[in-house]
């Protein structure tokens, strides 16, 4: 994956590391000074001595030969065109290796946070594990269960009966409604709401709507990450379920009784209507919308801004457009659409030719 992702600029490390130590952490192969030390991260085009950087996108290769970084992580397959001053660590995938280091750094920082800040409210019936951090202005309701090494940042609300598994991180302002369940190693970013009422109303004869009580919950399994300001509605009955390994972007709406399959990823501003069942390893682009009560097959790839109006039953296919169609068909339709002006001109010419032939036949 040739992306450059930076969550912080020139991120400070908790301590100094040698190139040898870093190579061991990411199973890399060293080229250069094994004793080179780094104490922070830096972009390859801006890094200074004592910083660690990486190169995954070929567009930035020129910076490798001029960077001041002490250590740079690169792909195994990269063939050098010039001499490089920095110590190099070769790995199969530099982007993934750098992400691994950032994860280790983040874990190191968050693990240092423990204790309960005040003011905060914790009901006496709640159970809290070890090495937990509760920031100021957190609310923990009745019979809440919190596992070990959980981090709750300011403004988090855990409703009555909510369960939070080990190693979860809930950023500022996350709201978990009553009876919702989070597995282990779940990260939820600021402002997200889990378990708000599903959109259920029964139309009445007089034109009004009667609210249908939403008495289910939301279950989020292990190793899920959910972006900021995303909303996941509780089920009318039963559970809305986010399976293990799912990654949800910011500003996503997931309606009641939806099920999102294992290791599925969904980009921002997508809306998934009620009772939709999404399979495993599905990739959904930004601003996709789905109708309710449909299913999406395993391995489906749905391009951004597509509209899914019916079930996609064939696995491992790509879809695009509104209503969505097979991606190869979509490309043909797009090509034909671009040619419509020329086709119109040719049709008019053919019509004139036919008229001429008919006139000649009549006059013959």
The answer to whether residues 208 and 305 belong to one domain is yes
Q: Give domain status of residue 156, yes or no.
A: yes
Q: Give domain status of residue 351, yes or no.
A: no
The answer to whether residues 283 and 309 belong to one domain is yes
Find the mean pLDDT for residues 87-101: 95
Specify the range with the lowest mean pLDDT, choosing from 72-76, 291-295, 328-332: 328-332
The answer to whether residues 202 and 291 belong to one domain is yes
Q: Give domain status of residue 334, yes or no.
A: no
Preceding amide of 323 cis, omega within 30: yes
CATH of the domain at 37: 3.40.1390.10
Q: Give domain status of residue 313, yes or no.
A: yes
N-term to C-term CA, the chain: 70
Last residue of a domain, one of 191, 219, 241: 191
CATH of the domain at 207: 2.160.10.10
The answer to whether residues 107 and 136 belong to one domain is no
Contact 196, 178 (CB under 8 A): no
Contact 177, 162 (CB under 8 A): yes
Look up the pTM and report it: 0.79
Specify the range with the lowest mean pLDDT, choosing from 93-107, 181-195, 223-237: 93-107
The answer to whether residues 318 and 239 belong to one domain is yes
pLDDT band at 332 (very low <50, low <70, confident <90, very high): confident
pLDDT band at 335 (very low <50, low <70, confident <90, very high): confident
Last residue of a domain, one of 141, 156, 191: 191
Is 29 a residue whose pLDDT tops 80?
A: yes
Find the mean pLDDT for residues 294-303: 98
Which percentage of the chain shows pLDDT scores above 90?
Answer: 79
Mean pLDDT score across all residues of the chain: 92
The answer to whether residues 80 and 26 belong to one domain is yes
The answer to whether residues 48 and 142 belong to one domain is no
The answer to whether residues 277 and 239 belong to one domain is yes
Q: How does strand 37-41 pair with strand 12-18?
A: antiparallel
Task: Measure CA 152 to chain center.
Answer: 21
Find the mean pLDDT for residues 206-225: 97
CATH of the domain at 129: 2.160.10
Q: Give domain status of residue 347, yes or no.
A: no
Which domain covers residue 124, as residue numbers? 114-191
Q: Give domain status of residue 6, yes or no.
A: no
Contact 87, 33 (CB under 8 A): yes
Find the mean pLDDT for residues 141-168: 98
Q: Give domain status of residue 311, yes or no.
A: yes
Is 132 a residue whose pLDDT tops 90?
A: yes
Question: Is 293 marked active-site?
Answer: no
Q: Which of 189, 210, 256, 293 is catalytic?
A: 256
The answer to whether residues 166 and 206 belong to one domain is no
Q: Give domain status of residue 205, yes or no.
A: yes
The answer to whether residues 237 and 118 belong to one domain is no
How many domains does one find in the chain?
3
Please write the tens of the pLDDT for every residue from 236-294. 999 999 999 999 999 999 999 999 999 999 999 999 999 999 999 999 999 999 999 99
Contact 261, 283 (CB under 8 A): no
The answer to whether residues 181 and 207 belong to one domain is no
DSSP H/E element including 288:
none
The answer to whether residues 169 and 210 belong to one domain is no
Last residue of a domain, one of 143, 160, 191: 191
Please write the tens of the pLDDT for every residue from 155-187. 999 999 999 999 999 999 999 999 999 999 999
Is 78 a residue whose pLDDT tops 70?
A: yes
Q: Residue 5 has what pLDDT?
A: 35
């Amino acid at each position: 994956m040739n992306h450059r992702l930076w969550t912080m600029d020139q991120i400070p490390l908790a301590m100094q590391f040698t190139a040898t130590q870093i190579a061991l952490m990411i199973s890399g192969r060293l080229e250069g000074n094994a004793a080179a030390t780094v104490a922070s991260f830096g972009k390859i085009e801006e890094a200074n001595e004592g910083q660690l950087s990486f190169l995954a996108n070929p567009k930035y290769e020129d910076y490798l030969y001029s960077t001041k970084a002490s250590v740079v992580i690169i792909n195994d397959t990269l063939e050098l065109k010039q001499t490089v001053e920095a110590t190099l660590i070769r790995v199969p995938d530099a982007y993934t290796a750098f992400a691994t280091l950032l994860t280790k750094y983040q874990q190191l920082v968050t693990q240092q946070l423990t204790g309960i800040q005040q003011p905060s409210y914790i009901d006496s019936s709640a159970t809290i594990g070890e090495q937990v951090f509760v920031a100021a202005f957190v609310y923990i309701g009745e019979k809440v269960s919190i596992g070990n090494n959980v981090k709750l940042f300011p403004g988090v609300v855990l409703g009555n009966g909510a369960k939070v598994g080990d190693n979860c991180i809930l950023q500022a302002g996350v709201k978990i409604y009553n009876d919702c369940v989070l597995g282990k190693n779940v990260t939820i970013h600021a402002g997200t709401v889990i378990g708000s009422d599903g959109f259920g109303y029964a139309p009445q004869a007089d034109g009004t709507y009667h609210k249908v009580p939403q008495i289910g919950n939301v279950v989020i399994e292990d190793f899920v990450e959910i972006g900021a300001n995303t909303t996941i509605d509780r089920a009318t009955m039963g559970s809305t379920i986010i399976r293990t390994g799912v990654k949800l972007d910011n500003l996503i709406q997931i309606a009641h009784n939806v099920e999102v399959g294992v290791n599925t990823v969904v980009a921002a501003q997508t809306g998934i209507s009620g009772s939709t069942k999404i399979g495993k390893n599905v990739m959904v682009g930004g601003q996709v919308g789905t109708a309710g009560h449909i299913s999406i097959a395993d391995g489906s790839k749905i391009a951004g801004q597509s509209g899914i109006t019916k079930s996609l039953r064939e696995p491992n296919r790509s879809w695009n457009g509104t209503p969505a169609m097979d991606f190869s068909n979509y490309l043909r339709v797009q090509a034909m659409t671009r040619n419509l002006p020329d086709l119109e001109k040719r049709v008019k010419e053919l019509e004139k030719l036919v008229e001429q032939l008919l006139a000649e036949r009549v006059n013959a």
